[in-house]
Amino acid sequence: MSNKIVILDRDGVINEDLLGYVTKPKDFKPIQGSIESISRLSQNGIKVAIATNQACINRKIITKEDLEIVHKYMMSLVLEANGIIDYIAYCPHAPEEKCPCRKPEIGLLKKIEKKLNLPIKNSFFVGDKESDILAAKKYGCIPLLVKTGYGNKTLKTKSCPPAEHCFKNLKEAVSYILKK
């Protein structure tokens, strides 16, 4: 078993960010190359965890059960590509609830570390939003930014990682990770 782990945000990194919510499997549209990239990580002995904010639950747009159906669908796509997602941690709270697990806070990262019984400090965290980058930095992970989703907007923030940690998409980010 490898003790390597990569944390991924979901919307805007793995699937297209709809600027709304993915409420059904048919709404889940993988970004080109993302499913295969997750599979490449798995095939190289790297565990994959997802840390995703899903305020749609507490906003009553989707139930936890509906979210599980979407996640099972995403996991099945990865499985078909001979990969595995080891764990998905999500925060159901809206920003105004000030939840300690909602990114940019670090509760989801603590949950991943506990569930997988692996230290995640110094692990790569791939995201597209400033909240992903901030959570990664706060917990001692190495933030990688993808330009899909909100990535181009995040490039203009003070929190943006250095240029060598910014990538066109998950496929490019995974190629970089696998060289490390």
Which are the catalytic amino acids?
A: 9, 11
Instruction: Determine the Cα–Cα distance for residues 76 and 172; give it in Å rounded to an integer.
Output: 23
Which residues are within 8 A (CB) of 168 and not within 5 positions of it... i.e. 6 or more apart?
146, 147, 148
Instruction: Determine the Cα–Cα distance for residues 130 and 153; give it in Å rounded to an integer.
Output: 9
Instruction: Determine the Cα–Cα distance for residues 49 and 109; give it in Å rounded to an integer.
Output: 9
Encode 124-136 in three state secondary structure. EEEECCHHHHHHH
Nearest to 8 by CA among 62, 65, 47, 66: 47
- 3-state DSSP call for residue 40? helix
